[in-house]
Structure 1
């Protein structure tokens, strides 16, 4: 059987694939998932909302990073591109009004604090809503959990090699090699690897480089026991993309597009010189053992160790008057203020052991599916950052090349050697400490009558943090525990076709200590909690050719730390309490259809209304700046010729819309006016085409066809790529 058949011969539910000269094309996304509830559960009987995108859609769209794959998920908006820093360097996104950073890998916490290559991606899953009950407080956010399912070895010899090239000096090579090692196919091996080199659209000669290597090995010891070991290695060297901070309507305009026009900011201009790279190295090792104790009882054991390290520069910018640097208030010319936050040999290490027992049984005549799990995770932060203001340059004819690796290094060395100057206090920020997390959880799906499924789940988690360093301060250790429940139900009005569902989901996190009074005394905060109520309808209709979900959710967060507005006397330390509250509600629609032979469509609409219910006076009652755009939409439509002279030719078009995003949204009591700054709405259109035969595949894609200027961010603005294209040649044997 050919590589294409092995890699793509899967169907969604009962829909059959079509054979086209040995090229198998999946025409419908299979949404069933074993990860969403840590047990096999069909999508229509699952009371949780989640989205799934498989590798075939990603391949047709010529998606080579997870960042590009996110565009297919309704309600998920990217806010911040990767900075490649250990700890917090991964891409930041917003879902249901809350930040998400670093996806899970096959249900485990395995951070990649840099760009995540899609070379070993089998499927992308996004579970929506607070999900601590089964995944813990350290995974995801109150908006949901992202999970990447990786490719696994299969039992035939196959190789696929691709060469990709594009504008901004983009070139990439990748390989997917699979082979049985033993004659009886008990031992299987697969290697996915890719190397990418590219420039930034403002700096095409940046030569950012990304290496991803992901071997995997499986061993079927006998009918009951299967062992697997995977390894992921990333070696990346890249300059972070351009970020503007401290944006305000006081600059003369209340949105980024108008501000650029007013000040004459060049969208394509790079404001740095050479050598400002961050080097990131990631090593993730995974072990997995499944053992069928009986026909009804299965054991799943996971061991995971993830190490991320980084060092290098991280330049950032603001638009500011020259007088802020010259000291002369009469210097009102607005220009580029340049600064840096460098990483000094930082490392994040996560070790995790997880044991799950899955039981499928009848209790009398009642069907039960149960998972009982135990989880231990150790998080070891050893993160070191230094920062400094660099200079100010005019927007026209500035000497932007002067901000380079040598110049910034000299600034730091000068400050470190400056007499009577405390560099560590003024220019350093550290996060050093160890946290151990112990968890146990149980989840059960019971079917007391036909077509009715009731889910109940409960987690107990204990976080034990050692004494640590945060900034320049020593933070006392603490132990904090919490319970996290989950309830849900689905009823299938039409078996396997139409169901209604509802759920209650919970998440929490430990915020540690806060300063509670004007004497500077500290208290251990109670766990911050988020509770969600959600309901909706799921359908799989027209002989499994149309899948749709529509839902409404209501999330409320309490016990958030809140600045009271007071300071400890003679200090800059804020006094806080834990009475903050936030509410996020919304509706979502997702559709996946294959109604006409060769023609498929996926898309979604979402609306989110987030509001501070109790917060500082300047933001209470307003939308948080992390909540992203309230209105979002996405679609992708494709057509594949399955017969005739054009057999094997496919093409597609897609797009993403986001409404205005208020990255500053507060009341200024001093001027009795609103401080609102907006990243303007955008509609980005992308297109692709490909032609596939038994041994070859040729493809092209064009992103941002209308060459639209757009920005993403939260409290920041990051200009995005203009029109750009890629061409791909693949050989399969």
Structure 2
């Protein structure tokens, strides 16, 4: 805490000196704040330009300005600004399934889209090349299909693009737990006519954790992009993303139940019983090495004033190799101690690959009396190849280890883990070798019969051609399954561009493949699982666009879900039925406001009521019922303090049932930041979790989260 106080005092002194020696020379900061913080209009998420006020779906967005002001460096941390989104699981970096997971509207989701195309990132996603994050709420299978569209919503990261002038910024960042980072953003026209443009964003981070400050986790991001404007009608874009990670995973506690914990059913009481929140139960060198390579190519062609073509090609590859420790806690009746068991499930040269070709045509026609018609029509080919390799310990590394006496846990390290894998009979292996080709065609139409009234209709046809292969412990034969996904929506602007009422029907689906139908081991191809949403609400865009608010009620019903019957075959395959039904309904209120000069607010509250209709219980992966988020920021735009800004924000979550009978406690996490922005440099600082809250997230698990931490930034602009 002493170091924190010294850091804040030093920062305050620097800020006071900076505001005396330089000023921010910008005449339109008001407009910049409104456009970047308040406006949520999008050209991407609906595959056509739509203003928020005329869109029947709910869209949340987080701009790079918000990330910069809050000193946010990863997409995971950016999620704190999205109403109704709850982070559940930090990325494990395992190829195929290692990305971070969140909950939206009671359903799990992850960050699988970049600029509207499938680009899964299985490592922690650096925010260095993020222009904006967009979260389109509800099932969006019509535009995005079954492979990435969670029933709760999709997350689409919009990347920075080259522009026509030379500019750049280099930053040095340091903070708690041996955190240090260097990053750069450089843009330059390559040719004198400024048709060929280049931009590169790159960052390197080295950090420990609050449990293991010397862990030296490293994260590297390298994301160059190239744009060639061949003419007023023809544009070529090429982007590359590479993320390299060498890190020890977050501490995950599995198998939590009152029956094995002497009646304790929540993490707060388990801490009181002696589980040390700050303890690391690992030694050295239990790293996973991972990398992600994404290549994105695009050709945009303006056929005429009404028709545009966009041809997109995307290739995404993930690789991982190394340890993946995880833990459980139990109560020992003989010693009357709570003990931790330590496990591992490593990857060994695990790979995943996604190749996508997508063609879109956009039509936009205006007619007399305010009539307008906008259409996107396209087709999509996606090839998915999984070559996942897993090896695991059949027994805990150490059957039990005391959890309350400050023991030395360094014996669980890279050397001893390798020796444990060499013990005969102590190792299990499972692989995933599966290829799927997905063919899709879709259309979405926005018709404006009179000014202020928008009618939306759309449909998608998708065919999934599974080539067969090994899926975990079971050989799976090929299958082909097709489905339609319709959508409809209506928006009426009661006050043009200021106040609208909207309603939508959204649909999505997924193929669950084969399931075991009886104890004899017979299998059948399941019907497509389907989700249907009905939603209605209001949107406002008031006070010259300075107050943007959305309130909505949604009801999502899922049918044809696979459910276990409690029976098993002789080879321990679970017998299932496809009669499962889930309902998720709730209310969301989101507000982005620029209340007075220099003062902006981002905030929201979300309530979700999810229920497994066969049991009447809330599904264990639905997250908390109540979520809130807020951030208030003030920046001096005039006078001697011009360029100085401050912010405070936070998130709350209600109790989270993660296993059916075990709970993560409710929490309130508060953050603060300050910055000084001048023409040539920027100084910033933040204090995350400044109340030092012990809080847990989890996806059927309990994962302790970062304690108070301070970060300071110095950036030079050129």
Q: Deviations over 1:500-547 (max 9, x none)?
A: 000000000000001112321110000000000000000001111111
**SS at structure 2 position matched to 1:456:** strand
Partner Cα distance (1:68, 1:104) in 2: 17
Question: Which structure 2 residues correspond to residues 561-576 of structure 1 after superposition, within 5 A?
Answer: 561-568=562-569, 570-576=570-576
Indicate whether 1:730 and 2:718 are aligned: no
- Given the alignment, which residue of 262, 265, 288 partners 1:254? 265
Indicate whether 1:629 and 2:638 are aligned: no
Q: Deviations over 1:331-367 (max 9, x none)?
A: 5532110100101100010000000000112477641
Residues 360-369 or 708-717, more deviating:
360-369
Indicate whether 1:408 and 2:417 are aligned: yes
Partner Cα distance (1:362, 1:730) in 2: 46
Give the conservation status (yes or no) of the 8 Å contact 2:197–2:228.
yes
Paired position in structure 2 for 1:354: 358
Indicate whether 1:716 and 2:701 are aligned: yes
Give the conservation status (yes or no) of the 8 Å contact 2:442–2:458.
yes
Paired position in structure 1 for 2:33: 27
Paired position in structure 2 for 1:165: 174
Paired position in structure 2 for 1:280: 290
Offset at residue 472 of structure 1 (A): 2.5
Residues 149-158 or 361-370, more deviating:
361-370
Indicate whether 1:584 and 2:595 are aligned: no
Partner Cα distance (1:514, 1:331) in 2: 44
Offset at residue 24 of structure 1 (A): 5.7
Indicate whether 1:638 and 2:633 are aligned: yes
Offset at residue 23 of structure 1 (A): 7.8
Paired position in structure 2 for 1:613: 613
- Given the alignment, which residue of 270, 273, 277 partners 2:280? 270
Indicate whether 1:648 and 2:648 are aligned: no
Residues 99-108 or 61-70, more deviating:
99-108
Offset at residue 431 of structure 1 (A): 1.1
Let me know the Cα RMSD of the aligned residues: 1.3
**SS at structure 2 position matched to 1:517:** coil
Paired position in structure 2 for 1:345: 349
Give the conservation status (yes or no) of the 8 Å contact 1:534–1:554.
yes
Give the conservation status (yes or no) of the 8 Å contact 1:23–1:693.
no
Indicate whether 1:138 and 2:147 are aligned: yes
Indicate whether 1:473 and 2:474 are aligned: yes
Paired position in structure 2 for 1:220: 229
Give the conservation status (yes or no) of the 8 Å contact 1:488–1:501.
yes
Residue correspondences, number: 684
Give the conservation status (yes or no) of the 8 Å contact 2:39–2:548.
no
Q: Deviations over 1:618-670 (max 9, x none)?
A: xx1011111111001000001011111111100000010100101122xxxxx
Paired position in structure 2 for 1:10: none
Paired position in structure 2 for 1:245: 254
Residues 387-396 or 711-720, more deviating:
387-396
Residues 390-399 or 282-291, more deviating:
390-399
Indicate whether 1:378 and 2:387 are aligned: no
Partner Cα distance (1:611, 1:261) in 2: 31
Structure 2 gap segments, 5+ residues each: 1-22
Give the conservation status (yes or no) of the 8 Å contact 1:23–1:692.
no
Paired position in structure 1 for 2:453: 452
Give the conservation status (yes or no) of the 8 Å contact 1:214–1:233.
yes
Q: Deviations over 1:456-502 (max 9, x none)?
A: 00000000001110123211111000000000010000000000000
- Given the alignment, which residue of 300, 314, 327 partners 2:324? 314
Partner Cα distance (1:32, 1:316) in 2: 42
Give the conservation status (yes or no) of the 8 Å contact 2:659–2:701.
no
Indicate whether 1:188 and 2:197 are aligned: yes
Offset at residue 186 of structure 1 (A): 0.3
Partner Cα distance (1:573, 1:399) in 2: 40
Give the conservation status (yes or no) of the 8 Å contact 1:244–1:316.
yes
Indicate whether 1:179 and 2:188 are aligned: yes
Q: Deviations over 1:594-614 (max 9, x none)?
A: 121111101000000000012
Give the conservation status (yes or no) of the 8 Å contact 2:188–2:197.
yes
TM-score of the superposed pair, with normalisation by structure 1: 0.92
Offset at residue 385 of structure 1 (A): 0.7
**SS at structure 1 position matched to 2:33:** coil
Residues 358-367 or 297-306, more deviating:
358-367
Paired position in structure 2 for 1:336: 340
Paired position in structure 1 for 2:131: 122
**SS at structure 2 position matched to 1:27:** helix
Partner Cα distance (2:474, 2:385) in 1: 18
Partner Cα distance (2:115, 2:297) in 1: 11
Paired position in structure 2 for 1:705: 690
Paired position in structure 2 for 1:600: 600
Give the conservation status (yes or no) of the 8 Å contact 2:606–2:626.
yes
Q: Deviations over 1:571-619 (max 9, x none)?
A: 42222111000000000000011121111101000000000012xxxxx
- Given the alignment, which residue of 647, 650, 659 partners 2:654? 659
Partner Cα distance (1:449, 1:530) in 2: 32
Paired position in structure 2 for 1:487: 488
**SS at structure 2 position matched to 1:183:** coil
- Given the alignment, which residue of 39, 53, 58 partners 1:49? 58
Structure 1 gap segments, 5+ residues each: 1-18, 323-328, 615-619, 666-675
Paired position in structure 1 for 2:306: 296
Give the conservation status (yes or no) of the 8 Å contact 2:95–2:290.
yes
Give the conservation status (yes or no) of the 8 Å contact 1:200–1:241.
no
**SS at structure 2 position matched to 1:643:** coil
